[in-house]
Amino acid sequence: MEKKKYISLIKVKRMIALVTGATSGIGKATALLLARHGYDMIITGRRQERLDILSAEIKKISNAHVLSLCFDVRRQEEVTKNIQSLKENWSKIDVLVNNAGLAAGFSAIQEGVIDDWERMIDTNIKGLLYVTRIVAPMMIKHGKGHIVNVGSIAGKEVYPNGNVYCATKYAVDALNRAMRLDLLQHGIRVTGIHPGMVETEFSIVRYNGDEERAKKVYAGLKPLTPEDIAESIAWALTRPAHVNITEIVLTPTAQGNATTAVRKA
Ligand code: NDP
Ligand code: 8X3
């Protein structure tokens, strides 16, 4: 009898976090930090090799169990197949970090590349929705949960040539607020994280692999690190259960807003 009680206590304490876009940057740093915080981790992305490497890294630095799911958030059937079919021992997801996302291109609206627009809309908005649509009911069934949506300061103010990327992040901001209202009655916490410049692969992706151009984005200032964002996420998650952090907006000290930064020559 005593042993049974102990086992059930351990089960109650198990926490599971699912991070989308864990193969790089903010998602990777978040997965590593949450594992250190005692979460078992479901890590996702499209690059299996990177998921394998991260999986090994997490196991090296923590006692976390890790499950990697390789799928494209733009493909609804893949999202559904991967998450819906989680075995009982992985289905009680406590934390979802909707992080997978990208900017593609940097053109004025009249010169925009339609394919870039579609990639951003499909990933940043529709992908986030597909994942949430599966995970939110699981959290409701489980009786608790916390969803963290990674937006951007680009979802707080627009900047020249940011057009569609900004629009997708405005949508993330709106969805963050909407989720908070819809999930309120279920006691599910919802937090938006809105960073300014973070040095990751983000700009390399935006400029289609042009590393020199990407480097210039962060030249002459100290950008945020993926670990800075991971810490803000972990902070929101570790507030007492009655506290919901609605949103956190954070920028490098050298960045005033999306268009103003102080750079040293
Ligand atoms: P990275 O490019 O370093 O990481 C992006 C992650 O998203 C990768 O793990 C990538 O995985 C994943 N991803 C992209 N497209 C898809 C897809 N279709 N399906 C599944 N996963 C996908 O960039 P960041 O870490 O900087 O970006 C993370 C989030 O932070 C994004 O939402 C971004 O908009 C946001 N953000 C970034 C800022 C910055 O300055 N860096 C500032 C504000 C917000 P894979 O390629 O393996 O699929
Ligand atoms: C990324 C930050 O300012 O490049 O979301 O749009 S910014």
Work out the number of other CB atoms within 10 angstroms of the CB of residue 101. Answer: 27
What pLDDT score was predicted for residue 13? Answer: 74
Q: To test ligand 1's pocket by mutation, which of 73, 175, 200, 248 has the most ligand atoms within 8 angstroms of CB?
A: 200
CB-based contacts of 78: which residues, under 8 Å, 6+ apart?
71, 72
* 253 three-state secondary structure: coil
Cα–chain center distance at 181:
20
- What length does the chain have? 265
Q: Which residue has the tokens 């799911």?
A: 69
Residues with CB under 6 A from ligand 1: 20-27, 45-47, 50, 72-74, 99-102, 123, 127, 150, 152, 195, 197-198, 200-202, 205, 226
Nearest alpha-carbon partner for 210 in 105, 55, 97, 61: 105
Instruction: Kindly state the DSSP code that residue 154 receives in the 8-state scheme.
Output: G
**CA–CA distance, 247 with 56 (Å, rounded to integer):** 32
What pLDDT score was predicted for residue 6? Answer: 47
What pLDDT score was predicted for residue 265? Answer: 84
CB 99 within 8 A of CB 147: no
Whether 165 is catalytic is yes
Q: Taking each helix axis as running N to C, give the angle between helix 76-84 and helix 128-142, from 0 to 180 degrees, rounded to the nearest 10.
A: 20
**CA–CA distance, 47 with 70 (Å, rounded to integer):** 7
* Cα 7 to middle of ligand 1, angstroms: 38
What pLDDT score was predicted for residue 46? Answer: 98
* Cα 33 to middle of ligand 2, angstroms: 23
- Between strands 66-70 and 95-98, the pairing is unpaired
Torsion, Cα 221 33 246 163, to 10 degrees, reads 50
Nearest alpha-carbon partner for 173 in 187, 194, 189, 197: 194
CB 102 within 8 A of CB 24: no
CB 142 within 8 A of CB 158: no
Write down all domains in the chain, each with its CATH number in brackets: 16-250 (3.40.50.720)
- Between strands 66-70 and 260-261, the pairing is unpaired
The residue type found at 190 is V
Taking only the tens of pLDDT, the chain with its 265 residues reads 444 444 444 445 799 999 999 999 999 999 999 999 999 999 999 999 999 999 999 999 999 999 999 999 999 999 999 999 899 999 999 999 999 999 999 999 999 999 999 999 999 999 999 999 999 999 999 999 999 999 999 999 999 999 999 999 999 999 999 999 999 999 999 999 999 999 999 999 999 999 999 999 999 999 999 999 999 999 999 999 999 999 999 999 999 999 999 999 8
